[in-house]
């Protein structure tokens, strides 16, 4: 049985999509936070340490492009994108996360997501870190470990690389 068939178990009776953690032997890091706090910078630092980057937003965009014209997307991208994300998560909690995870090649064991949101939280499959940056972070989320981005780019990048090596 392949990783993809083992990783995702969809329970139609409860309309809940659940990742089977016992058979999911990958390190998956998700960065969340407000715009401009350093999520992509953090993800890029982990990519330089051998992590494989995947994007939930790219999966949402792929489906959005199937349903809407380029003109519609150009005119209302943020609104359409948010509606698509909400509708997917109404179908199954973690819908977009699951679609993204099953697209990961089998040989990739260390994964990073830089566009993680609270609507993507699904059990303990993804180790989530909130990037906090003074004058950018609006809301600190409870029960989510923070990484403070309050110094130079090099210092922040090194902090993330150290995190990646500990995993």
- pLDDT, tens digit, for every residue of 100-111? 888 889 899 999
Confidence of residue 24 (pLDDT cuts 50, 70, 90): low
Residue range 42-67, pLDDT digits in tens: 999 999 999 999 988 889 989 899 88
Domains plus CATH for the chain? 3-166 (3.40.50.300)
User: Please, what sign has the CA dihedral across residues 41, 27, 167, 135?
Assistant: positive
Pair 135, 32: CB distance under 8 Å = no
Q: Is 100 helix (H, G, I), strand (E, B) or coil?
A: helix
What is the predicted pLDDT for the residue at 123?
64
Q: Which residues pair with 32 in a beta bridge?
A: 130
CA dist 98 and 140 (Å) reads: 25
Facing residues of 54 across strands?
113
Residue 23's CB: how many other CB atoms inside 10 A? 12
Contact status, residue 110 vs residue 66, Cβ threshold 8 Å: no
Mean pLDDT score of the chain: 81
**pTM of the prediction?**
0.76
Q: What is the pLDDT of residue 102?
A: 86
């Amino acid at each position: 049985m392949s990783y993809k068939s083992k990783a995702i178990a969809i329970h139609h009776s409860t309309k809940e999509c659940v990742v089977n953690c016992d058979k999911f032997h990958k390190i998956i890091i998700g960065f969340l936070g407000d715009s401009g706090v350093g999520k992509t910078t953090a993800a890029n630092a982990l990519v330089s340490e051998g992590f494989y980057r995947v994007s939930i937003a790219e999966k949402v965009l792929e489906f959005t492009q199937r349903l809407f014209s380029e003109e519609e997307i150009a005119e209302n991208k943020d609104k359409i994108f948010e509606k698509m994300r909400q509708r997917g998560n109404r179908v199954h909690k973690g819908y977009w996360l699951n679609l993204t995870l099953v697209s990961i090649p089998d040989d990739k064991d260390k994964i990073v997501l830089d566009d993680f949101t609270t609507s993507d939280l699904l059990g303990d499959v993804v180790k989530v870190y909130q990037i906090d940056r003074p004058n950018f972070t609006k809301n600190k989320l409870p029960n989510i470990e923070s990484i403070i981005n309050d110094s130079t780019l090099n210092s922040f990048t090194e902090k993330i690389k150290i995190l990646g090596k500990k995993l």
